[in-house]
Amino acid sequence: MPDTKLLFHLSDIHFGLEDNRALDWVKAEIEERQPDAVAITGDLTMRARHREFAAATSWIKSLDVPVTVEVGNHDLPYFNPIERFFDPYKRIRAISDKVEQEIDLPGLAIVPLKTVRRWQPRFNWSKGWVTDAALERCLTSLDALPAGTQALVTVHHPLREVGTHGTALTKHGRKALNELAKRPVIAVLSGHVHDAFDIMEETVHGKIRMIGAGTLSQRVRSTPPSFNELSWNGEALNVEVRNLEHVDSSDMMIGDVPEDAMPPREPGEPVAPVGQVPRTDPPVH
């Protein structure tokens, strides 16, 4: 039986509207517990502003454990379409050694799968899209793992296709899940929803587990700021939703991925960012 691995799954920190009380607590937890790895599943900033990335990258660099970072839809240049198209990761370069990086632990790997695109042939660019190239990269990494190694795949958008073809939460998410289910993937770790969940998804190749982390920002959806503490003993993956309000994990988790995975629009949020449909009606939660 291998040693138990401790992993922290953080998401949607949204510097610019971060929750500093939650961040101070998480950082202290990381220093004290020394997890084997920290996976941050995207949306580091609110609007990909330089000052927001400076704060985000400085906080992430201060964590003295292995960290892998996914890019979220809020992390691509928002007000600068030229930079968004030609150099979308320019502002995140300070932590380029952690962005979309695989982490290999004995017997367990964390393998990234990119779900953001610099542009999309549809109106709403905040939703996910798994390109053939991104999926190929992920599958190649999974197939190269030593025999017996299991994997957690990290994404920003849950790999769920809901609604009609045109409004799918993550385009080609179904195809990705089908491929991942054929491989030794323990679970897909995601963000974007701002509430935690832990569900089993059916695919043509059997079930696959999808685990979402909540937010560490003030931009909460229906639960207080939280992160997921994962422990893997080689056979079972346990998820505890850690939060400052001491709410039980079961009460912190939503039952399913919502079709509209967008949290409420905060006061002052621009209504017509690059490539996105204006949001005029903040949902009521």
| Category of 138 on φ-ψ map: left (φ > 0), alpha (ψ -120 to 50) or beta | alpha
Contact 128, 170 (CB under 8 A): yes
User: Is there binding between residue 72 and Fe ion (CB under 5 A)?
Assistant: yes
Least distance between Fe ion and beta carbon 12 (Å): 4
Give the nearer residue to Fe ion in terms of CB position, either 73 or 170: 73
Beta strands at 150-154 and 128-129: parallel, antiparallel or unpaired:
unpaired
Sheet containing 103-105: give its strands across: 103-105, 108-112, 150-154, 185-194, 206-214, 197-203
Give the nearer residue to Fe ion in terms of CB position, either 12 or 36: 12
DSSP label at 49? -
Give the nearer residue to Fe ion in terms of CB position, either 42 or 108: 42
Count, residues near Fe ion per rule CB under 5 A: 5
Give the nearer residue to Fe ion in terms of CB position, either 192 or 242: 192
Least distance between Fe ion and beta carbon 155 (Å): 11
Give me the helix-helix angle, 132-143 and 173-181, nearest 10°.
10
The residue from 160, 192, 221, 242 that contacts Fe ion (CB under 5 A) is 192
The residue from 41, 45, 68, 73 that contacts Fe ion (CB under 5 A) is 73
Q: Which residues of 122-137 are buried (b: 16+ CB within 10 A; e: fewer)?
A: eeebbbbbbeeebbeb
Q: Which of residues 31-60 bind Fe ion (CB under 5 A)?
A: 43
Least distance between Fe ion and beta carbon 14 (Å): 6
User: Is there binding between residue 275 and Fe ion (CB under 5 A)?
Assistant: no
* Secondary structure class of 27 (helix, strand, coil): helix
Which has the closest alpha carbon to 115: 95, 131, 103, 104? 131
Specify the stretch interacting with Fe ion by CB under 5 A; choose among 16-24, 62-70, 88-96, 187-195: 187-195
**Dihedrals φ, ψ of 30, to 5°?**
-65, -40
Give the nearer residue to Fe ion in terms of CB position, either 8 or 125: 125
Give the nearer residue to Fe ion in terms of CB position, either 36 or 43: 43
Q: Which residues bind Fe ion (CB under 5 A)?
A: 12, 43, 72-73, 192
